[in-house]
């Protein structure tokens, strides 16, 4: 899948830093950012930097992946409830012998998402299991 | 004006490959190699990790430890010999992900294994000259050794970041002074399009590592009227476990002064991250009033010497993740998995 370098660049703030939106009217949080509230329709939304910690809401282990992630299989993807934000989907990295469970604490890390050879590299937030 | 370290962070990827595993593939005697190098395993980057992500993680810890607003970072320098791009700075991606903003001085640095300490000198000088109030100096690498080469046993991944600032900020350690000792020495190089470095075998020792570390350290001690016994801890660049022990002894330092710094024994040589990770590990258990001396080494060649005096503020800092936590948190890889991680098989 070929992605535009410019389209990626427009989303740096969201992808690099967990920048989402909050609706000032109904207080709903969104990630990635939105221009109007999907819940109540208000256009009174503001940027909000979410905390980098949360817990696993649900997860699954991927054995058959899109081509660009084949080198990483098997790997975990999860829905993560951010401590002060919405539920977002992301990869859980560096899982060794640990058994994942719902409610497990995770924290955000910054990792390479795609790009090999002559392509531009893309980076973004993924999650790692909290140790202590 | 006093300048000093406000905070620091370290990061070591979770993956390891043992000397035994590598030696087994090449039909070598693992025990002999491990004994010679003092390295029995090394850290390996995750499939989605590189110098940028390692530099980011170490920096984020440095900022989070003191709840430092990233917008107040005025300078950011990333030293590495494995910047992901040949042309396009690593530093801007690190800064963007940290939320530094746009008003900061920056560049990528390269000087083999001493690019991280070069960054510390540059940030210290920016702060001294009042062009910046604070800055991040980062050393990070995902070092590569050619399969089958002696470097394959030690070339590792990791990094550390130091937030340096003026005395408007509380210091955990003041920076007393710094010097460099530099010459044009062809001990180790990687060509413009080469994937792996070349090294001049035995030439990497005496006229390279030892001459420069010895030169910088003795110059520093003489200049400031210090003697080895003035220091509680000392850090020398760690291409393997043997060299820093040998040079420490030659300079008149004891094993006791050196031992806290020796991350190499557990994770190998993290190149630009090496002496900085050693310093981070020393700070993890330093006490107020401790005096610390550090001399890096980068092939090509040069050494930077610094000394630090630890303040009372260190005690507040010793709560977060330590270098030892990272050393102990690991997943072992087979040689085949390791080859996939470092890209020798795709
Ligand atoms: Zn709303």
Candidates A61, A48, A43, A58; CA nearest to A20 is A48
Percent of chain B past pLDDT 70, that is, above it, reads: 99
Q: What angle do CA B259, B262, B265 make, to 5 degrees?
A: 120
Spatial separation of the C-alpha atoms in residues B79 and B81, rounded to whole Å: 7
Q: In Å, what is the CA distance from B126 to each residue of B15, B132, B307?
A: 36, 5, 18
Mean pLDDT of B297-319: 95
- How much is the mean pLDDT over chain B? 95
Spatial separation of the C-alpha atoms in residues B190 and B198, rounded to whole Å: 6
Tally C-beta pairs within 8 A across A and B: 54
Q: Measure CB to CB from residue B14 to each of A17, A94, A132 and give the nearest one.
A: A94
The pLDDT value recorded for residue A93 is 97
The whole-angstrom distance between A110's CA and the closest CA on chain B is: 6
Q: Find the A45 Cα to ligand 1 centroid distance in Å.
A: 8
Q: How many CA atoms lie within 13 A of B34 on its CB side?
A: 17
- Chain A residues with CB under 8 Å of B97 CB are 16-17, 110, 123
> Which ranges of chain B would DSSP assign to H, the alpha helix?
19-26, 30-37, 51-65, 90-98, 115-128, 211-224, 242-251, 255-258, 264-267, 274-284, 314-317, 323-328, 335-341
The answer to whether residue B204 scores a pLDDT higher than 90 is: no
- Give catalytic status of residue B113 as yes or no: yes
* List of residues 6+ apart from B55 with CB closer than 8 A: B78, B80, B90, B94, B138, B140, B159, B161
User: pLDDT tens across B16-43, in order?
Assistant: 999 999 999 999 999 999 999 999 999 9
CB distance B16 to B332 below 8 Å: yes
Residue B222 in contact with partner chain A when CB distance is under 8 A:
no
- Chain B residues with CB under 8 Å of A112 CB are 48-50, 52-53
Percent of chain A past pLDDT 90, that is, above it, reads: 76
Spatial separation of the C-alpha atoms in residues B253 and B262, rounded to whole Å: 14
- Domain borders along chain A are 1-50, 51-132
Residue B75, both tokens: 């300078």
**Cβ separation of B56 and A110 shorter than 8 Å?**
yes
Q: How far is CA A54 from the centre of its chain?
A: 11
**Cβ separation of A72 and B60 shorter than 8 Å?**
no
The top-level CATH class assigned to A51-132 is mainly beta
Question: What is the topology classification, in CATH, of domain B4-172?
Answer: Peroxisomal Thiolase; Chain A, domain 1 (3.40.47)
Stretch (H or E) spanning B10:
strand B4-11
Interface with chain A: mutation pick from B48, B87, B88, highest number of A CBs within 10 Å = B48
Residue B325 in contact with partner chain A when CB distance is under 8 A:
yes
- Domain borders along chain B are 4-172, 176-316
- Give catalytic status of residue B56 as yes or no: no
CATH architecture of B176-316: 3-Layer(aba) Sandwich (3.40)
pLDDT confidence band for A120 (50 / 70 / 90): confident
Q: Taking a contact as any Cβ pair under 8 Å apart, which residues of chain B between 265 and 324 contact chain A?
A: 321
Which chain B residue is nearest to residue A115, measuring alpha carbons? Answer: B48
The pLDDT value recorded for residue B152 is 95
Say how many residues make up chain A: 132
Q: Find the A107 Cα to ligand 1 centroid distance in Å.
A: 27
**Cβ separation of B85 and A121 shorter than 8 Å?**
yes
pLDDT confidence band for A12 (50 / 70 / 90): confident
**Cβ separation of B96 and A16 shorter than 8 Å?**
yes
The whole-angstrom distance between A33's CA and the closest CA on chain B is: 16
Q: Find the A42 Cα to ligand 1 centroid distance in Å.
A: 5
Beta strands B198-199 and B233-236: pairing type? unpaired
| pTM for this prediction | 0.96
pLDDT confidence band for B205 (50 / 70 / 90): confident
- Name the catalytic one among B113, B152, B199, B341: B113
- Name the phi and psi angles at B326, rounded to 5: -70, -35
**Cβ separation of A71 and B346 shorter than 8 Å?**
yes
Percent helix / strand / coil, chain B, rounded to 5: 40, 25, 35
Spatial separation of the C-alpha atoms in residues A86 and B340, rounded to whole Å: 35
Candidates B237, B67, B236; CA nearest to B163 is B67
The pLDDT value recorded for residue B199 is 79
- Give catalytic status of residue B31 as yes or no: no
CB distance B152 to B146 below 8 Å: yes
Mean pLDDT of B276-295: 98
The pLDDT value recorded for residue B174 is 98
* List of residues 6+ apart from B173 with CB closer than 8 A: B4, B5, B283, B286, B292, B308, B309, B310, B311, B314
Spatial separation of the C-alpha atoms in residues B252 and A112, rounded to whole Å: 44
**Residues that place a CB less than 5 A from ion ligand 1:** A 23, 25-26, 28, 37, 39-40, 42
Q: Measure CB to CB from residue B325 to each of A113, A126, A131 and give the nearest one.
A: A131
Say how many residues make up chain B: 346
**Cβ separation of B60 and A121 shorter than 8 Å?**
no
What's the per-residue H, E or C state across chain A? CCCCHHHHHHCHHHHHHCEEEEECCCCCEECCCCCCCCCCCCCCEEEEECCCEEEEEEEEEECCCCHHHHHHCCEEEEEEEECCCCEEEEEEECCCCCCCCCCCEEEEEEEEEECCCCCCCEEEEEEEECCC
User: From the CB of residue A120, how many other CB atoms can be counted at a distance below 10 Å?
Assistant: 13
Interface with chain B: mutation pick from A70, A111, A118, highest number of B CBs within 10 Å = A111
**Cβ separation of B96 and A126 shorter than 8 Å?**
no
Beta strands B291-295 and B302-310: pairing type? antiparallel
> Which residues is B174 bridged to in the sheet?
B4, B309
Which sign, positive or negative, has the C-alpha torsion B96, B98, B101, B102? Answer: negative
- How much is the mean pLDDT over chain A? 92
- Chain A residues with CB under 8 Å of B330 CB are 96
Secondary structure class of B11 (helix, strand, coil): strand
Q: What is the DSSP letter of B96?
A: H
Query: Same CATH topology for B4-172 and B176-316?
Result: yes
User: pLDDT tens across A37-62, in order?
Assistant: 999 999 999 999 999 999 999 999 99
Mean pLDDT of B302-313: 98
- Name the catalytic one among B81, B83, B199, B212: B81
Which sign, positive or negative, has the C-alpha torsion B208, B210, B216, B218? Answer: negative
Q: Which long-range contacts (CB under 8 A, 24 or more apart) does B240-246 make?
A: B240/B36, B240/B37, B240/B38, B240/B39, B240/B154, B240/B264, B240/B269, B241/B37, B241/B38, B241/B39, B241/B265, B242/B36, B242/B37, B242/B38, B243/B205, B243/B209, B243/B210, B245/B38, B246/B210
ipTM: 0.94
């Amino acid at each position: 899948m070929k992605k535009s370098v410019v389209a990626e660049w427009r989303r740096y703030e969201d992808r690099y830093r967990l920048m989402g939106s909050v609706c000032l009217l109904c207080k709903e949080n969104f990630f990635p950012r939105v221009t109007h509230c999907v819940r109540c329709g208000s256009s009174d939304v503001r940027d909000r930097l979410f905390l980098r910690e949360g817990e696993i809401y649900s997860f699954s282990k991927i054995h058959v992946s899109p081509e660009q992630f084949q080198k990483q299989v098997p790997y975990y993807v999860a829905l993560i409830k951010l401590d002060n934000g919405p539920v977002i989907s992301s990869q859980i990295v560096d899982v060794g012998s640990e058994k994942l469970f719902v409610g497990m604490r995770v924290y955000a890390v910054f990792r390479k998402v795609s790009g090999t050879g002559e392509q531009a590299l893309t980076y973004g937030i993924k999650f790692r299991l909290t140790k202590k | 004006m006093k300048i000093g370290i406000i905070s620091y962070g370290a990061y070591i990827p979770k993956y390891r490959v043992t000397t035994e595993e590598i030696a087994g593939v090449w039909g070598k005697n693992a025990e002999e190699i491990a004994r010679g190098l003092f390295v029995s395993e090394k850290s390996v980057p995750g499939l989605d990790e590189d110098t940028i992500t390692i530099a980011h993680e170490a920096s984020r810890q440095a900022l989070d430890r003191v709840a430092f607003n990233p917008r107040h970072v005025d300078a950011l320098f990333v030293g590495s010999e494995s910047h992901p791009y040949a042309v396009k700075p690593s530093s801007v991606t690190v800064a963007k992900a940290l939320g530094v903003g746009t008003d900061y001085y920056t560049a990528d640095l390269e000087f083999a294994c001493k690019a991280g300490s070069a960054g510390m000198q540059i940030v210290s000088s920016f702060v001294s000259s009042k062009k910046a109030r604070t800055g991040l100096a980062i050393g990070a690498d995902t070092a590569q050794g050619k399969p089958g080469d002696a470097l394959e046993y030690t070339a590792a991944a990791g990094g550390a970041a130091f937030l340096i600032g003026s005395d408007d900020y509380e210091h955990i350690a003041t920076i007393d002074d710094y010097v460099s000792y530099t010459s044009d020495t062809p001990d180790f190089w990687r060509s413009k399009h080469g994937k792996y470095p070349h090294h001049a075998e035995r030439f990497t020792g005496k006229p390279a590592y030892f001459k420069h570390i010895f030169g910088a350290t003795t110059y520093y001690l003489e200049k400031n009227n210090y003697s080895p016994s003035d220091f509680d801890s000392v850090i020398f660049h760690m291409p393997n476990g043997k060299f820093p022990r040998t040079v420490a002894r030659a300079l008149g330092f004891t094993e006791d002064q050196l031992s806290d710094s020796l991350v190499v024994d557990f994770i190998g040589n993290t190149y630009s991250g090496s002496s900085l990770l050693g310093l981070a590990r020393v700070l993890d258990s330093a006490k107020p009033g401790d005096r610390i001396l550090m001399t890096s080494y980068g092939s090509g060649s040069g050494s930077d010497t610094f000394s630090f005096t630890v303040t009372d503020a260190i005690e507040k800092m010793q709560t977060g993740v330590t270098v030892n936590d990272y050393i102990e948190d690991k997943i072992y890889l087979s040689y085949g998995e390791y080859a996939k991680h470092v890209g020798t098989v795709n």
